[in-house]
Chains A and B, each alone.
Chain A
Amino acid sequence: MLRKADYSAPVFVAAALGLFFIGGLLTTVVPPLMDKSWAKPFENSDAAKGVTGKLQPYTEQQLQGRAIYVREGCWYCHTQQTRTLLADTKRSGWRGVDAPISTPDEFVYDSPHLFGTKRTGPDLSRVGGKYDEQWHKAHFRNPRDLVPGSIMPPFPWIANNETEFQALVAYMQTLGRAKNWRPDNDYEK
């Protein structure tokens, strides 16, 4: 049957697009219809059902900070996903407490999504609240001052621009905070 496509361009086009659309539609249009958690923001107040918390929409300032994170390409080296791997939950953890894995309902306000593909620096999916403003300022100025051996580029133009710096830090402090996973809400304010 496909031999016909050797001689007829219309048959060829129909076959090539037909085969492509089966997989194309089933893997892009169907999944969000099947799995509602992709679009429903995380919310749980019943400790019996697991970790509690609520995903909040970003504020104006946090969105501005997120735009800076995108502009400088932070997402090329920092992933934002605590995967279903034991090591990931420990590395994203805090003071001996393992972090919960990332779930689709924690990311419904994210556009562009920043899951990332490459982990040159550490994962940031649960970094919110771990380091204070002063730490971030020194770190952006020269990462090696705080973390010897780091290969992160310096970002003096952000550290020296108070509006941009505040916005970026405001965004970073939201990361992974939808779930109240730390004991006694051990966050730095």
Chain B
Amino acid sequence: MQSEATIRRAGEIPVSAAARYNESIHQDTTARLFLASSITYFFIVGIVALVIAAKFVWPQLMGTIPMLTYGRLRPLHVNGMLFGWLLAADMGLMYYVVPRLCGVRLWSEKLGIATAALWNVIILGAVVTLLLGVNQGLEYAELPLPLDVLVVVAWVMFGANIFMTVATRKYTQMYVTIWYCLGTILWTAFVYLTGNFATLFSTGVNQANLNWMYVHNAVGLIFTPVGLAIAYYFIPKTSNNPLHSHKLSMIGFWSLAFVYVWTGAHHMIHGPISQWLQTISIVFSVMLLIPVWAVVYNFFATMRGQWQQLRDNVPLKFLMTGVVFYLLTCFQGPMHSLRSVNAIVSKTDWIPGHAHMAVLGAFSFFAIAGAYYVVPRICKTRLYSDALANWSFWLFLIGGVGFFVTLWLGGFWQGWQWNNPAIPFIDTVIALEPVWLVRFFSGILMFGGIVTFAYNILATMLGPKGNQSQAALATA
């Protein structure tokens, strides 16, 4: 194959491969459906997020309505953001990216459309059951069994489509993005089965251990690899720059494949679980620095000499900010697993600060960048407004940083207070009231980011084709 020589040289494939064949072979209906629905859920679940943040400040708010009590809205927020928004957006982007990296069209657009329909049935089913209080009682695995089965079916449909596309590829070498995408599909299958089915046949600490293996790897082996798949494609693509090093990307990928799965028990440091298992999880948690730093260095080196592009390239702003958040959140993670640090931060408000930086700050930023890049192209038009896109970036960034930093400071303080048993527990609650108030206002800013992002994307999708005037106005 003629392109082979260029492919062997690290980093040149992703950027140039897509341009070498006729772009019009792609239909992209599936990608469009997944992106449109996921962004809609981002908006709806964003409202839920604001409500639960408000309940920390005004605990009586909507307090007498069973369906709107905190304990039912929180799982709706978590599941809605993870599966309704982020995973669906990631899947939509994979339906766009993988065919282009393979030089062929998606194996079956019909199967893709059916997958999108089924995914929406699952999310709507989740909304209804969670509000009714149908809850399996396991974090990230709250959905009832019938919906779990549908998730497995949808995942097999997604996986089959992607694997068949890869099997029929024209370019022999698979670019890093494809590894991460295939890895996500394989690992997710087993991680999901462990968290949602194997847990049903166990109790107590054994069940908790399986639950944490799933919870941890839902982030580590679902959102991390698919997020990195997106970053590996869009950072070179949006900056028009070859990837720095193929070797580093291999180190990053294969060390992730080996290291991540060992760390589940670090959710129970100091808890009622065998000490040796805690120690193993700590050792492997610290080793996570290897895949993370390999990947982050690769991205930074790719941008060498090109940082000026950040000034007016909005997708690149989201991507590189996401990389910084990824670096920070993955530095926190290994540190939290150390027994001495864990004794302070575990179970405090620090943890939601950490978790939001991973899922919102890093992986959602990647997905948002992908959506800004992809949607105008599949709609064969220009983005509705570049200025609005820039606004969404600053709203997300300021709101996000306000949220993360406030919760870290508050959580750390809370942890110190807990470690002094002379302080009554209720005083540690009252002490955090200002923290939760700032968190709520940061949430409003982040919600502003969601609104501007969603409006911009949906206006691009629904607007006239070949719309140049609006975009020209906005950039003028």
Contact = CB atoms under 8 A, between A and B. Distances in A.
Interface of A: 2-3, 5-7, 9, 12-13, 15-17, 19-20, 22-24, 26-28, 31-32, 34-35, 38-39, 70-77, 79, 81, 83-88, 90-91, 101-104, 106-122, 143-144, 147-157
B59 A24 contact: no
B206 A39 contact: yes
Nearest to B75: A73
A184 to B, nearest CB: 23
A9 B167 contact: yes
A50 to B, nearest CB: 15
A28 to B, nearest CB: 5
Given A12-B174, A87-B421, A73 B70 contact: yes
Given A73-B70, A154-B64, A20 B213 contact: no
B419 A104 contact: no
B347 A79 contact: yes
B166 to A, nearest CB: 6
B406 interface: no
Given A70-B136, A73-B69, 15 more contacts: A22-B258, A24-B190, A31-B206, A31-B274, A73-B72, A90-B421, A110-B204, A119-B418, A120-B429, A121-B429, A149-B426, A149-B429, A150-B59, A150-B429, A154-B59
Nearest to A108: B204
A107 B203 contact: yes
7 closest pairs, A vs B, by CB? A73-B71, A112-B137, A90-B421, A107-B204, A83-B270, A70-B137, A119-B347
Chain B at the A interface: mostly helix, strand, loop or mixed?
helix
B254 A2 contact: yes
B291 to A, nearest CB: 12
Interface residues of B, number: 84
B60 interface: yes
A77 B56 CA distance: 11
Interface stretch (B17-25, B30-38, B181-189, B452-460): B181-189
A22 B284 CA distance: 13
A31 B430 CA distance: 40
A110 B211 CA distance: 13
B182 A27 contact: no
B310 interface: no
Contacts of A122: 425
A73 B176 CA distance: 40
13 contacts: A19-B254, A19-B258, A73-B69, A73-B135, A76-B70, A104-B205, A111-B202, A112-B199, A117-B139, A117-B347, A118-B351, A150-B426, A153-B63
A113 B205 contact: yes
Nearest to B130: A73
A186 B99 CA distance: 69
A131 to B, nearest CB: 14
Contacts of B347: 79, 116-119
Most buried by A among B209, B268, B276: B209
Contacts of B138: 112-113
A129 to B, nearest CB: 18
Nearest to A119: B347
Interface string B368-399: 00000000000000000000000000000000
B420 A91 contact: no
Contacts of B348: 119
Contact of A81 (B59, B254, B272): B272
B65 to A, nearest CB: 9
Contacts of A15: 254, 257
Contacts of A113: 138, 203-205, 207-208, 211
Interface stretch (B82-90, B232-240, B259-267, B311-319): B259-267
Given A12-B174, A112-B136, A157 B207 contact: no
A7 B74 contact: no
B280 interface: yes
B271 interface: yes
B71 A72 contact: yes
A151 B59 contact: yes
Contact of A20 (B70, B257, B268): B257
Interface in B280-329: 280-281, 284
Contact of A16 (B69, B135, B257, B264): B257
Given A16-B187, A87-B419, A91-B421, A28 B213 contact: yes
Contact of A118 (B135, B260, B352): B352
Contacts of B27: none
Contacts of B26: none
Nearest to B355: A117
B44 interface: no
Nearest to A102: B272
A148 to B, nearest CB: 8
B182 A16 contact: yes
B120 interface: no
B192 to A, nearest CB: 13
A101 B186 CA distance: 39
A23 B205 contact: no
B194 interface: yes
A140 B210 CA distance: 32
A119 B166 CA distance: 45
Interface string B77-117: 00000000000000000000000000000000000000000
Contacts of B59: 143-144, 150-154
Contacts of B356: none
A135 B56 CA distance: 23
Contacts of A19: 254, 257-258
Nearest to B69: A153
A27 B204 contact: no
B259 A23 contact: yes
B118 interface: no
Nearest to B261: A23
